[in-house]
A = this chain, B = another copy of it.
Amino acid sequence: MVTTTYQVQGMTCGHCVSAVSAEVGAIPGVNDVQVDLAAGRVSVTSEQPLDENAVRAAVDEAGYELLGA
């Protein structure tokens, strides 16, 4: 298992957390997503290291911006 923590901009409430969790959680190979709303951090646990572009696309699809890992 690999857990990578990303910085995500724009999340403001529990709905935002749900939206990001759902989109990132739908990436193939992702086992768990933990969001720290106050810190703007999203920790993604997966079987294999993920393509950051896939994570970026999922965060974008949810309506937010991935700033980096």
From residue A28, how far is it (CB to closest CB) to chain B in Å? 25
Task: Tell me the number of copies of this protein.
Answer: 2
Q: Could you tell me the distance between the alpha carbons of A14 and B10 in the complex, rounded to whole angstroms?
A: 11
A19-58 Cβ-contact flags toward B at 8 Å (1 or 0): 1000000000000000000000000000000000000000
User: How many chain A residues touch B (Cβ–Cβ < 8 Å)?
Assistant: 8
Complex: chain B residue closest to A11, CB-CB: B13
From residue A7, how far is it (CB to closest CB) to chain B in Å? 18
From residue A33, how far is it (CB to closest CB) to chain B in Å? 17
Q: Could you tell me the distance between the alpha carbons of A16 and B63 in the complex, rounded to whole angstroms?
A: 14
Closest 5 CB pairs of A and B: A15-B15, A12-B12, A12-B13, A13-B13, A13-B16
